[in-house]
Amino acid sequence: MNDEKNVFSRLIEALLDDSDPFPPSYLHLFSDISRQDLAELKTHWPQVNPNRRVTLLKDLEELAEVDMQMSFDNLGKFALNDPQPEVRAAAARILWECHDKKLIPVYLNMVKNDEAEIVRAAAASALGTFVYQGELEEIPEATLSTIVAILLEITRGKDSKLVKRRALESLGFSGHADVHNLIQEAFHKKDKEWLITSLFAMGRSADQRWEESILDQLDDPDVDIQTEAIRAAGQLELASARKPLLTILKNESEIDDSVRSAAIISISQIGGEGVIEILSALLEKSEDEEVSGFIEDAIGFLSFIQDLQFPGILDFESDEDDLIPLLEDETGLDFFDSMDDDLELDNLN
C-alpha cells in the first residue's frame, strides 16, 4: 500500500512539474482511481497547469479508445466541472461508456447552458448512450422522453451546426417518429458534414430502410463519407453491402487506411460463408501491424459468433456468380496470390 501511495505521490509531483513532459507510464494509474487518490488529486488539481490538464484528459481519452480495460469514470465525473472547456469536453467523451444515470441531468444542463460549443457538442454526443438505454427500456420512459425532446429541440433550434449534428447523431438510436425525417433532411442537404452525420445516425438506427442510401455512398470518392457509409453498412449488417466491401478490400493497395479498417470491421459484422477465409488471406498478405491487428480481431469475432452458431449473421444466402469473381482481378492478378492453392472456393457460396 505504501508503495502504491508513493507512486501516486510521484504522479502528483509530475503533474505539477511543468519543466518535464508528463510521463505516459503514469496514465494507467488514473484508471479506476480510488476515492483516496482522487481526493488527493482534487486538492492539487487547481495548481496543475491548465494546458497540462487539457493534454492529460486527451491522452486518457486516447488510451481509453485503445484499451477497453481502462476506466476513467471517476476522474471523468470530477473533470466535468473543470473551468477549462477542453477538459469538460474531453471528460464527457471519456465517459462515453458510463451508464450512470446521475450523469443525465448533468449532460442535459451542459447541452443547454454551457457557454462553450465544444462542451455542448460533447454533452449532446454523451446523451446518445442514454437514448440507447432508453430504447432498451433500461431507463424510465419519462427520462428518455425528456432527453429526446431536448435533443429534438436542439436540432430545430439556433445552436451551432456542430451541436445540432451531435444531437442528431444521438437521436439515431431513437425510434421517435420525427427522427427518420431529420436524418433524411440531413442526407439531402448537399453538405458533407451533414451527410456524414446522417450516415452515422443511419448506422445507429437499426432501420433497414436506409439500405439504398448507404449502399449509394460506399464508393463515394470522399474518404470521410465512404468510411462512414462503410461503418453504417456494418452496423446494420447489410448483406447487400458484402460484395462492395469485399471489392474494396480486394483493392487494398489503393484505399485509405481508415477505409480499409472500417471495411474489415464491417465485413466481420455482416459475416457470411467464406468471409473468414477472405480475411485470413488479407492477414497473410498484410505487412502493416495495425491492419493485421484489425483483421485478427475481425476473424476472432467471426469465429466466436460461428462457434455460438448465432442465427442470422452467417447464414444468409449468397450468389456464387457474385462472389467468385471477387477472387480474381480483371487484370488477372489473383486476390489470394499469396495463399496456398488449397483454398476451397466452394466455401464462398
Q: Which residues pair with 334 in a beta bridge?
A: 328
Domains of the chain by range and CATH? Answer: 208-349 (1.25.10.10)
Closest CA to 246 of 293, 298, 197, 312: 298
Q: What is the pLDDT of residue 288?
A: 75
Low-confidence residues in the chain, pLDDT < 50: 1-2, 310-349
For residues 57 and 69, give the distance between their C-alpha atoms in angstroms, rounded to a whole number.
17
Q: What is the pLDDT of residue 216?
A: 97
Closest CA to 57 of 16, 21, 92: 92
- 123 grid coordinates: 454533452
Half-sphere exposure of 36 (CA within 13 A, CB side): 5
Q: What is the pLDDT of residue 300?
A: 83
